[in-house]
Amino acid sequence: MISRIVARFPQGPEVLLGPGDDAAVLAHPDGRSVATMDLLVEGRHFRTDWSGAYDIGRKAAAQNLADVVAMGARPTALLIGVGLPGRLDVAWAEALGDGLRDECAVVGASIVGGDTVSAETITVAVTALGDLGGRAPLTRSGARPGDVVAVRGGLGRSAAGLRLLLAAPVGAGEAGAFEEWIGGLPERERALVAAHRRPAPPYTAGEEARTLGATALLDVSDGLVQDLGHICRASGVAIELAASALPAAGGVTAEDLLTGGEDHAFAGTFPAEAALPAEWRVVGRVTRGAGVTVDGNVPGRGGWDHFGV
Amino acid sequence: MISRIVARFPQGPEVLLGPGDDAAVLAHPDGRSVATMDLLVEGRHFRTDWSGAYDIGRKAAAQNLADVVAMGARPTALLIGVGLPGRLDVAWAEALGDGLRDECAVVGASIVGGDTVSAETITVAVTALGDLGGRAPLTRSGARPGDVVAVRGGLGRSAAGLRLLLAAPVGAGEAGAFEEWIGGLPERERALVAAHRRPAPPYTAGEEARTLGATALLDVSDGLVQDLGHICRASGVAIELAASALPAAGGVTAEDLLTGGEDHAFAGTFPAEAALPAEWRVVGRVTRGAGVTVDGNVPGRGGWDHFGV
């Protein structure tokens, strides 16, 4: 089964030695390697009645590739550890592999290794590697008072889609029934469910942010307020968000925008004089102090702390 | 909990950016990165009544570090994904982290990132990275007819220790009872159980093999015959093992030696004229053909295929 799936993974030019030896060898000509890992577990990070194997693969790859891009690096490779229960057939594993592969293809990364084991719960461990191309990494620690805060990509759409799935009048565990119910949704709601099942990070954001002079960058995986809090702590600054820059629309609430994760939008801080294009929506500014406020209020006390963030 | 554990991980000089950002950044001055991953699941790869968290950490790190060494590379970093059930306390997770950290210290690698999630089953995903220091990787594909096959490190000891644990007159799930029973074993058997619980790969083997002119190298994780079979396939050769070079001794049977994995000894092929020191035990030779034989017989038909290899 493993060799059948591995045969479906094309190997890019930076793969000097692909799957099949004790380890893979990658060309990282920069002389530095960027590395990140996520562990995803069925029932906690995905549900097989909500998402097919292909979409689970796309999402698992996307969230790790986005982390590499958020460092200002070019993703080169994934390693995948998969734990699979015996109840799943080979087609399920192949679809998972195809999803991982196709998301890698978006950024030109290769799947160079991994491990497959039997497990009671579906488990997907993803390590993503990248190359910095001679440039400094875009960390979370460079934000300075006076910078503007801008976001590239959708916010809150995955959270809104999750809310629809949670409220669906369909029994848990019925994969086909969910699919049928989703198919009958209005287009706007179907798009939100799709955003939850298969996020589409704007991977060009890393390169764009660098060109625009970003002082800090991250991908929004846990929610805008929470993730910007990481920049505040790492940079020793405060961030003031403007609610007017985050208007509820299209089934996405103000709470979704502030606390919804998993869209893997990119949030960065930029010098005030940076000429940001329209794709980079200015949502706030960096000031002296600590922590994130929205229109002067501390979030989490205003009603948007109940989505499990 | 995560920050408490991460604080226990020292960061080596090649860690340019450690845990806490979207990804870690490592110095790999060679311009190539070696990367490998294993996924370990409770009940399949370890049992908490047999092994404490510290030993599970040591073993999980060791098997991945050994893979990097088997490429002729210097391990630089691990990323660790951990899935933990709620029944475990913080002390358990800390001991796991300490075990991972201490095994890394043996080779000078750092733990630079990872992920912690709640899970029903204890799950440990380990990615190991390494630097080649300007040299060619030691793959499985360079063995040539006329080479000798040599092994560095213990064989079959982990399998013999596992057999003792499986036969222990102690109820499953009783951690303390196992510990007491093991403590009462004769020293020789205690050492075999220890070899199963905490393998000690001879990490200098990669550098030694390179100096000795190795044409292929791997670490023995699935058993000598099975792993040498990988060299046969990758190199397009046959390997003839001599049973006399693998004598049963000290509670380790001939079958253990040929099929026992998880000791993470290193097996390599070397030019016939190589002056191998005593630590590298010659166990056979490379010939034209395909597959591994022992004294002319194909293993797996002779009675040593029943250990789940």
Chain segment B219-239, per-residue pLDDT in tens: 999 999 999 999 999 999 999
Give mean pLDDT, residues B210-215.
Answer: 98
Between chains, do B127 and A37 touch, taking CB under 8 Å as contact?
yes
Between chains, do B34 and A23 touch, taking CB under 8 Å as contact?
yes
* Residue A295 assigned as binding residue: no
Residue A262 has pLDDT above 80, yes or no: yes
Between chains, do A32 and B44 touch, taking CB under 8 Å as contact?
no
Please report, rounded to a whole number, the percentage of residues in chain B having pLDDT higher than 90: 88
Per-residue model confidence (pLDDT) at position A276: 98
A183: exposed, middle or buried (Cβ count in 10 Å: 0-12, 13-18, 19+): exposed
Confidence of residue A300 (pLDDT cuts 50, 70, 90): confident
Give mean pLDDT, residues A7-16.
Answer: 93
Are A263 and A220 contacting, i.e. CB atoms less than 8 angstroms apart?
yes
User: Which of A41, A116, A127 minimises the CB distance to B119?
Assistant: A41
Between chains, do B39 and A132 touch, taking CB under 8 Å as contact?
no
Which amino acid does the sequence have at B145?
A: P
Residues on chain B touching A114 (C-beta within 8 angstroms)? 37, 39
Q: Which residue of A has its CA nearest to B127?
A: A127
Are B259 and B306 contacting, i.e. CB atoms less than 8 angstroms apart?
no
Per-residue model confidence (pLDDT) at position B172: 73
CA distance A109 to A135: 19
Residue ranges per structural domain of chain B = 2-131, 148-159+199-294, 160-197
In angstroms, the separation between the Cα of residue B129 and the nearest Cα of chain A is 9
Between chains, do A35 and B127 touch, taking CB under 8 Å as contact?
yes
More confident residue, B307 or A45: A45
B250: exposed, middle or buried (Cβ count in 10 Å: 0-12, 13-18, 19+): exposed
Between chains, do A23 and B120 touch, taking CB under 8 Å as contact?
no
The DSSP H or E segment spanning B80 is: strand B74-84
Between chains, do B21 and A234 touch, taking CB under 8 Å as contact?
yes
Best residue in A6, A21, A118 for a mutation probing chain B (most B CBs within 10 Å): A21
This complex has an ipTM of 0.93
In angstroms, the separation between the Cα of residue B219 and the nearest Cα of chain A is 8
Residues on chain B touching A23 (C-beta within 8 angstroms)? 34-36, 67-68, 70-71, 73, 128, 130
| Residues in CB range of B3: below 8 A, 6 or more apart | none
| Residues in CB range of A48: below 8 A, 6 or more apart | A42, A56, A122, A175
In angstroms, the separation between the Cα of residue B174 and the nearest Cα of chain A is 22
Pick the CATH number of A148-158+199-294 from 1.10.645.10, 1.20.58.100, 3.40.50.2300, 3.90.650.10: 3.90.650.10
Residues on chain B touching A219 (C-beta within 8 angstroms)? 22
Per-residue model confidence (pLDDT) at position A83: 96
Q: Which residue of B has its CA nearest to A68?
A: B23
Residue B199 has pLDDT above 50, yes or no: yes
Per-residue model confidence (pLDDT) at position B309: 31
In angstroms, the separation between the Cα of residue B112 and the nearest Cα of chain A is 8
Averaged confidence pLDDT in chain A:
94
Q: What is the pLDDT of residues B146-186, one digit of tens each?
A: 999 999 999 999 999 999 999 998 877 777 888 899 999 99
Are A212 and A261 contacting, i.e. CB atoms less than 8 angstroms apart?
no
* Residue A114 assigned as binding residue: yes
Between chains, do B68 and A35 touch, taking CB under 8 Å as contact?
no
Between chains, do A39 and B219 touch, taking CB under 8 Å as contact?
no
Best residue in B2, B14, B21 for a mutation probing chain A (most A CBs within 10 Å): B21
Between chains, do A117 and B34 touch, taking CB under 8 Å as contact?
no
Pick the CATH number of A2-131 from 3.30.1330.10, 3.40.50.970, 3.40.50.620, 3.30.300.30: 3.30.1330.10
Residue B119 has pLDDT above 60, yes or no: yes
Between chains, do A36 and B70 touch, taking CB under 8 Å as contact?
no
3-class DSSP assignment, residue B246: coil
Per-residue model confidence (pLDDT) at position B305: 39
A71, A128, A196, B17, B27 from B24: Cα distances, Å? 9, 11, 27, 5, 10
Pick the CATH number of B148-159+199-294 from 3.40.50.300, 3.90.650.10, 1.10.390.10, 3.40.50.2000: 3.90.650.10
Angle subtended at Cα A109 by Cα A105 and Cα A111, rounded to the nearest 5 degrees: 95
Tally of CB atoms within 10 A around B176 = 9
User: Which of A24, A31, A218 minimises the CB distance to B29?
Assistant: A31
Angle subtended at Cα B94 by Cα B88 and Cα B95, rounded to the nearest 5 degrees: 90
CA distance B113 to B230: 31
Per-residue model confidence (pLDDT) at position A309: 31
Q: Which residue of A has its CA nearest to B113?
A: A36
Give mean pLDDT, residues A47-62.
Answer: 95
* Sign of the dihedral defined by the CA atoms of residues A37, A43, A46, A52, in that order: positive
Per-residue model confidence (pLDDT) at position A1: 75
Binding-site residues of B for substrate, please?
45, 262, 304
- In what order do the strands lie in the sheet containing A15-17? A15-17, A24-27, B32-41, B123-131, B74-84, B110-118
Per-residue model confidence (pLDDT) at position A308: 34
Residues on chain B touching A83 (C-beta within 8 angstroms)? 39, 41, 123
Please report, rounded to a whole number, the percentage of residues in chain A having pLDDT higher than 70: 97
Q: What is the pLDDT of residues A200-217, one digit of tens each?
A: 999 999 999 999 999 999
CA distance A284 to B131: 42
Between chains, do A117 and B39 touch, taking CB under 8 Å as contact?
yes
How many contacts (CB atoms, under 8 Å) link A and B?
208
Residues on chain B touching A25 (C-beta within 8 angstroms)? 32-35, 71, 132, 137
The DSSP H or E segment spanning B99 is: helix B90-107
Confidence of residue A176 (pLDDT cuts 50, 70, 90): confident
| Residues in CB range of B211: below 8 A, 6 or more apart | none
